[in-house]
Amino acid sequence: MQEIKTPAPHATDLASVAQRLGTDPMTGLTRDEAASRLSRHGPNRLRRQKRKGWVAILRHQFTSMIVWLLAAASGLSLAFGDIAEGLAIIVVLLINGALGFFTELRAARSMEALMRIAQVRTRVRRDGSERMLDAQDLVPGDIVVLEAGDVVTADLRLAGASNLEIDESILTGESIPVRKQTDAVAPDAAIGDRAGMAYKGTAVTKGAGEGIVVGTGTQTEIGRISDLVQSAESEVAPLERRLDLLGHWLVWLTLALAALTIGAGILRGNEIAAMLQTGVALAVAAVPEGLPVVATLCLARGMWRMSARNALITRLSSVETLGATTIILTDKTGTLTENRMTVMRYLLPDGDVEVAKTGDGTPFSRDGSPLTPETATPLDWALRVGALCSTAELDHGAQANHTGDPMEVALLAVAAKAGLRREALRGTLPEHAKHAFDPDRKMMATVHGNGADGGAERGAIYAVKGAPEAVLEVCTQVMTPDGQVTALPPEAKARWQSRAAQSGQEGLRLLGLAMKQTGDGDGDPYRDLVLLGMVGLRDPLRDGVREAIADCHRAGVRVVMVTGDHADTARAIAGRAGLGSGDLRVIEGRTLAGRPADTLDEAERARILTADVFARVAPDTKLTLVSVFQQAGHVVAMTGDGVNDAPALKKSDIGIAMGQRGTEVAKEAAHMVLRDDAFATITEAMRQGRVIFGNIRKFVVYLMSCNISEVLVVGLAVGGGLPTPLLPLQILYLNLITDVFPAFALGLGRGDDAVMHRPPRDPDEPIVGRPEWQWIATLGAAITVSTLAAFAFALFWLGLDTGAAVTVAFLTLALAQVWNVFNLRDPEAGLLRNEVSRNPYVWGAIALCLALIGLALWQPFLADLLQLESPGMAGLICAGVASFGPLLVGQVLLILRRAR
């Protein structure tokens, strides 16, 4: 993008910028031109996500050690003249590769589709008309149309600005919005002074405008400075890596075992060629060929299930981390509560005024008697300030069309009920300036021309609202009941504080209201104010929050509230939501402000680790909290929506952004996006995460116990001087065709409630830990004993020839592996009713496996290829009976384990 860098667009006049970018602000780009630019510049995203091409996916299928081992086995077979077997192994390899390719391709594409749902949309002019577009499809030269409330989606050279103000705090740290226009400025102007530009990630607070896109994606200011833009993350989940490792490990083990068996065989004087064939069989037996495919499918399915429940996972690895989450740091407003506010009460100099929700006539009452606000009294002014000092819009027609902060909407609504509509108020008190809400001062202000008596404007009126303690701090006077003003001494402030605390303890969210009249409007809005009173708003708990939090507690996961609201209000809401146990421990964020985790001593850390609520927390404190919890060994999930939350979202193990309220920046930094902003969705996602991990563990144990049994059957038989009981192709048939379906079925299980009745697993806990290895060995041994017993029985008791006896061994092993799927049930669950027996996929897989086994036996071509012979009725019965042995052993052990 050489041409737009020199000279910089902010210092270039509009016509030249348009010309250089080959665009016309009136009509925008054509669709074709936009498409071609998109392919040149790439998508407009901060985090570079590499799209996995099909070639890479295909290559991936043939790079694993497993494939090389099988290829070597095939080469050996060919070299020893067993052409059919050599070719069959190649065919199987190809089928396996194709299966893996399509599964992985589908998984990759569906992940990309999921991520698209989480995208921000933006209004663009193309081909002469305006349309909504995914922000990531913007290209240099596009014309973007802005209005209040929008996030700027690319770097723009402004071509139009009417009253346009933009909050650029994310780039400049300056929280007061900047007034924009369309002129060029000096080349060396700082970002905050480039009035003719709008930058990606900043927020339009007021007015409207449009601009030419001069930079997208990482070629934007925020892209350049932001640490959000770390190099493309490898999307390989740690889980996949661990599975890979397991695969490698198995290959070496197999080689060692094969060498041992072959060596022993040769020493006993067996034929070298026969021994090599055994070696090939062993190699094929030990490798769980289906494992990578099943793992990919299982993770991708899990992501879809979560998305169907409104949780969009943007990183595959998060699926597993979710299951290990030990603590959730959650927002209050909008996540635990509905963010639908209603004004309940005014605290005024002459007492409290209650506000009724509905009904005709005046909604106000004091001590049970109705009250009409008289002009120029504290109530009248409180209502006016609430309506004037606002950025929201009330649509008097339809409730659904209100825009802006629900708290401000509530203030506008209550004023309108009292007959004070903002439009009318602004007729006599026109707005001259606005000081947007400053999260550090926790206040906002508007400045109005004072034409109250209908005459020419005389001086200015400041309307201020904000956190009660912040407003009290800057008030020096208070309005008396008759509309006069009088001094506000410190004792009186303390009394106001305790009144506010009382309402806060009822769970009301409080705001202080103040004003001042001055000769001119250029002074400090937050000095020498006149206190009018306070307003208390109710924000009800969301449905299902109590239950979801109770679920978390049962699952051993702590829930901690982190809010910008006052401690009293936060404590009341936390109590209602069922947070903590017994007395709630509340910490004020100000005690931690500006203190990174490494400056905290042990006592402070201990206090943090046991707190239930953090109140009046600033965004940078969230980062400290995440660090402290992580350093104590927690796996931290944290919610957030603002641009300032991005660093903490990134730092946490699971950053959760709000889909509806969240900014683009928060969504980009997060690992998971909640489409419905609801807390209950987090619990559900956690449940899914646990189910998925459990499923993966189940099918890994299942596949490995099957594989081990094959190795043992071959190794022990040959070691013991019997003929080879299973031929390589038979083993391949089992591993690639019949084993895979039950494994798939286990991977798709929906789990049961039990997963949320256990504490979270240790994040470092391996998929296959000690207990799993023991179970694999036990099941593998049981299958081995059954198979060898059936083989020996067929050879020596029934007197079958080797071919028929091999078929008996094959059948026993195949059926035993099918039944083995029931040994993967949760020991706590019932013998007959458990998550495996309730899984319809399992029954489907069993039916399919039986059909495939029958086919191998009775379909002449297949039977020929696999060298299976009819074992006769006695052989069939022998195999059938023996195959139930491992199931029996497994179930008895499970019952014993439960009893213990």
Query: What minimum distance in Å lies between the beta carbon of 549 and ligand ATP?
Result: 16
Count Cα atoms within 13 angstroms, Cβ side, for 334: 21
- Closer of 37 and 332 to ligand ATP (Cβ): 332
What's the CA gap between 809 and 684, in Å, rounded? 45
Contacting ligand ATP within 106-145 (CB under 6 A): none
Among 346, 364, 381, 437, the residue binding ligand ATP under the rule CB under 6 A is 437
Q: How far is CA 479 from the centre of its chain?
A: 49
Contacting ligand ATP within 508-537 (CB under 6 A): 511
- Closer of 287 and 444 to ligand ATP (Cβ): 444
Query: What minimum distance in Å lies between the beta carbon of 742 and ligand ATP?
Result: 48
Query: What minimum distance in Å lies between the beta carbon of 119 and ligand ATP?
Result: 24
- Closer of 305 and 435 to ligand ATP (Cβ): 435
What's the CA gap between 394 and 847, in Å, rounded? 62
- Closer of 446 and 735 to ligand ATP (Cβ): 446
> Under a CB-based contact definition with an 8 Å cutoff, are residues 236 and 319 in contact?
no
Among 10, 41, 194, 442, the residue binding ligand ATP under the rule CB under 6 A is 442
CA distances from 423 to 142, 428, 430, 458 (A): 36, 9, 9, 20
Query: What minimum distance in Å lies between the beta carbon of 168 and ligand ATP?
Result: 18
- Determine, following the binding rule CB under 6 A, whether residue 467 of this chain makes contact with ligand ATP: yes
- Closer of 165 and 408 to ligand ATP (Cβ): 408
What's the CA gap between 77 and 208, in Å, rounded? 74
Beta strand 636-640 with 327-330 is: parallel
Q: Which residue has the tokens 């109705």?
A: 370
Q: Which residue has the tokens 């070629």?
A: 219
Q: Write down how long the chain is.
A: 900
What's the CA gap between 614 and 625, in Å, rounded? 9
- Helix residue spans in 148-237 (DSSP H): 169-172, 221-225
Task: Say which of 82, 142, 331, 612 is annotated catalytic.
Answer: 331
Which residue in the shown chain puts its C-beta closest to ligand ATP? 564
What's the CA gap between 872 and 891, in Å, rounded? 30
What's the CA gap between 24 and 44, in Å, rounded? 21
> Each residue of 95-104: b (16+ CB within 10 Å) or e?
ebbebbbebb
Contacting ligand ATP within 447-466 (CB under 6 A): 465-466
Query: What minimum distance in Å lies between the beta carbon of 496 and ligand ATP?
Result: 14
What's the CA gap between 191 and 168, in Å, rounded? 9
Among 313, 444, 779, 882, the residue binding ligand ATP under the rule CB under 6 A is 444
The tokens for 732 are 């391949």
Segment interacting with ligand ATP (CB under 6 A) among 56-64, 419-427, 435-443, 487-495: 435-443
User: Any catalytic annotation for residue 331?
Assistant: yes
- Closer of 535 and 732 to ligand ATP (Cβ): 535
What's the CA gap between 566 and 333, in Å, rounded? 12
Query: What minimum distance in Å lies between the beta carbon of 464 and ligand ATP?
Result: 8
- Closer of 563 and 817 to ligand ATP (Cβ): 563
Q: Site map for ligand ATP, 139-158, x if CB under 6 A? A: --------------------
Q: Site map for ligand ATP, 543-572, x if CB under 6 A? A: --------------------xxxx------
Contacting ligand ATP within 587-606 (CB under 6 A): none
Kindly state the helix (H) or strand (E) to which residue 857 belongs, with its residue range. Answer: helix 840-858
- Closer of 151 and 535 to ligand ATP (Cβ): 535
CA distances from 729 to 90, 285, 846 (A): 11, 10, 21
Contacting ligand ATP within 819-838 (CB under 6 A): none
Query: What minimum distance in Å lies between the beta carbon of 827 and ligand ATP?
Result: 42
Q: Which residue has the tokens 């699971």?
A: 654
Among 75, 439, 521, 556, the residue binding ligand ATP under the rule CB under 6 A is 439
> Each residue of 264-294: b (16+ CB within 10 Å) or e?
ebeeeeeeeebbbbbbbbbbbbbbbbbbbbb
- Closer of 38 and 548 to ligand ATP (Cβ): 548
3-class secondary structure, 197: strand
- Determine, following the binding rule CB under 6 A, whether residue 679 of this chain makes contact with ligand ATP: no
- Closer of 534 and 736 to ligand ATP (Cβ): 534
> Under a CB-based contact definition with an 8 Å cutoff, are residues 336 and 330 in contact?
yes
Closest CA to 146 of 199, 191, 98: 199
* # residues contacting ligand ATP (CB under 6 A): 18
Contacting ligand ATP within 290-349 (CB under 6 A): 331-333
What's the CA gap between 64 and 692, in Å, rounded? 24
Query: What minimum distance in Å lies between the beta carbon of 358 and ligand ATP?
Result: 25
What's the CA gap between 491 and 498, in Å, rounded? 11
Query: What minimum distance in Å lies between the beta carbon of 203 and ligand ATP?
Result: 14
135 φ, ψ to 5°? Answer: -60, -25
What's the CA gap between 114 and 315, in Å, rounded? 10
- Closer of 463 and 776 to ligand ATP (Cβ): 463
What's the CA gap between 58 and 100, in Å, rounded? 8
Query: What minimum distance in Å lies between the beta carbon of 573 and ligand ATP?
Result: 9
Query: What minimum distance in Å lies between the beta carbon of 112 and ligand ATP?
Result: 32
Which positions ≥6 away from 74 have C-beta within 8 Å?
Answer: 85, 86, 87, 89, 90, 93
Among 24, 405, 473, 604, the residue binding ligand ATP under the rule CB under 6 A is 405
Mind telling me the catalytic residues? 331
**Which residues here bind ligand ATP, judged by CB under 6 A?**
331-333, 405, 408, 437, 439, 442-444, 465-467, 511, 563-566
